[in-house]
Amino acid sequence: MTLGLINPAIYMDELLRAKEVKFDWPKFSWIGSPERVDQVLFIRADTPYKTFDDLRKAAEPPRCAALARNGLGYFLPRILEEGIGAKFHMVLGYGGGGEMNLAIEKGEVHCRAGTVSAYVDREPTRTWIKNGFVRALAQSGATRYAKLPDVPTVYELMDTYKAPAAIKRVAKVMLSSGDLGRPFITHPGTPADRVKLLRAAFTKTMGDPELLADAKKRGWDIDLMNGEALEKLAKEIMVQPPDVIERVKKILGS
């Protein structure tokens, strides 16, 4: 009985046929995830970029911080570039969220993407939101995060700006790791009855009153994704036409 808690973005390596891959993503047995890990792109409120039209027409794009080219913090602004024509100057190489927040505070960069839960519930962004230092531009989830009801999703923006269907598929491929959240898996070939038992136990645990009370005390939001839903999404994102794969490679510079 072996369980894994994995970084879901590793499916990108298999999808892009990285030679290092030694797994078969669709064959994992999916147990559940306690939350989605959606991203929100936020920007200093004192910049001249007040609307997405401003970002589309910007003569000098805002500088946007990210760790590297292989995470949602990089993917979200790049998808907005591809999907609606927004312009960003990506600044890579930061060591983490703390460094990027400091860079925003110092004016070194104007924007960055981070998890929605950290944005609304942790410092310094919680205070920044209250005092109007930053504002949210867009979020990556398939649906709006409950605590950011007025911030559009990237999919809504692509509908508004009439993005091509191929770009919408690219967005789905690149942003689905957020929908997968923090997935628990077990190995391929696990008997179906055992997978069913593990899924039921996980779902029951995520609804336990004591666990929910402790999560609330810590400021954690439980947003259960059950094993069946994870399995469906995990398989869907691996079935993509060649032009979508090539576009993803281009965005990633690979």
pLDDT at residue 253 greater than cutoff 80: no
Across the chain, what does the average pLDDT equal? Answer: 92
**What would the pLDDT profile of 199-224 be if each residue is shown by its tens digit?**
999 999 999 999 999 998 887 888 89
What is d(CA 20, CA 13) in angstroms, rounded to the nearest whole number?
Answer: 8
Classify residue 26 by its DSSP letter: G
Query: What mean pLDDT comes out for the span 106-125?
Result: 94
pLDDT at residue 190 greater than cutoff 70: yes
**The pLDDT value given to residue 168:** 92
What percentage of the chain has pLDDT greater than the value 90? Answer: 69
- The CATH class given to the 39-175 domain equals alpha beta
Tokens of 27: 């064959």
pLDDT at residue 251 greater than cutoff 90: no
**The pLDDT value given to residue 218:** 85
Tokens of 254: 């690979």
Q: Do domains 3-34+181-252 and 39-175 have the same CATH topology?
A: yes
Judge residue 140's burial from the number of C-beta atoms within 10 Å of its C-beta, 0-12 exposed, 13-18 middle, 19 or more buried. buried
**What would the pLDDT profile of 119-133 be if each residue is shown by its tens digit?**
998 999 999 999 999
**The pLDDT value given to residue 60:** 94
Relative to beta strand 111-115, strand 39-44 is antiparallel
CB-based contacts of 252: which residues, under 8 Å, 6+ apart?
A: 16, 69, 70
Domain 3-34+181-252 grouped into CATH 3.30.2270.10: no
Single-letter residue type at 93: G
**The pLDDT value given to residue 254:** 61
**The pLDDT value given to residue 34:** 94
**The pLDDT value given to residue 249:** 87
Q: Where are the domains of the chain?
A: 3-34+181-252, 39-175
What is d(CA 168, CA 57) in angstroms, rounded to the nearest whole number?
Answer: 22
pLDDT at residue 71 greater than cutoff 90: no
**What would the pLDDT profile of 74-87 be if each residue is shown by its tens digit?**
999 999 999 999 99
Least confident of 69-73, 83-87, 97-101, 128-132: 69-73
Q: DSSP labels for 158-217?
A: HHHTT--HHHHHHHHHHHHHHHH-S-EEE-TT--HHHHHHHHHHHHHHHT-HHHHHHHHH
